[in-house]
Structures are given as C-alpha cells and as structure tokens.
C-alpha cells in the first residue's frame, strides 16, 4: 500500500510538470519560471489566508513576483 522509498522533499514541495509546448531553450526556461511563479503564489496565498502575512504584504509580494515573471518573459522571448 505505501511505498518504502523515501519521498524526495524537493519534488514534493516544488513539483514540476512536463513541458508540452514547442521546444526551444527559451520556452523551456520560461515554463520553469512560470511554474515557480505559480508555486510561490500558492505559498503567499496560504500565508495570507492563514493570517501569517497581511493582505497588503501578500499583494506586494505577488506584484513583485509578477514583475519578475514579466522581465523573464521579455528577456527570454522578445517580440
């Protein structure tokens, strides 16, 4: 019923899904950044919901992450 192998904590806390788009190194890197963004947003949301950080702090953190993601997209996939 239970696996006897230990759980890889990194993969447990930072799951990654497979890439399904057109493959280029830039697309793959942006996909990884997007998944990291999503994971961090989940943590911030949980912290705010649990009362560990204020709504304003959550907003500022998410805003900062969004700017990082936009910068990443601009650098990796220029128009």
Residues 36-77 have pLDDT tens digits of 999 999 999 999 999 999 999 999 999 999 999 999 999 998
CB 47 within 8 A of CB 58: yes
Q: What is the pTM of this model?
A: 0.73
Size of the chain, expressed as the number of residues it contains: 79
Confidence of residue 16 (pLDDT cuts 50, 70, 90): low
User: Is pLDDT of 17 > 70?
Assistant: no
CB 33 within 8 A of CB 71: no
pLDDT of residue 22: 79
30-64 burial, b at 16+ Cβ within 10 Å, e below that, comes to bbebeebbeebbeebeeebeeeebeeeebeebbee
Cα(14)–Cα(3) distance, integer angstroms: 20
């Amino acid at each position: 019923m239970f696996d006897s192998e230990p759980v890889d904590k990194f993969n447990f806390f930072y799951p990654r899904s497979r890439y399904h788009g057109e493959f280029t190194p830039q697309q793959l890197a942006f996909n990884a950044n997007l998944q990291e963004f999503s994971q961090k947003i989940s943590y911030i949301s949980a912290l705010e919901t649990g009362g560990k950080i204020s709504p304003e702090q959550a907003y500022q953190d998410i805003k900062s992450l969004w700017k990082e993601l936009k910068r990443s997209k601009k650098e990796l996939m220029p128009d």
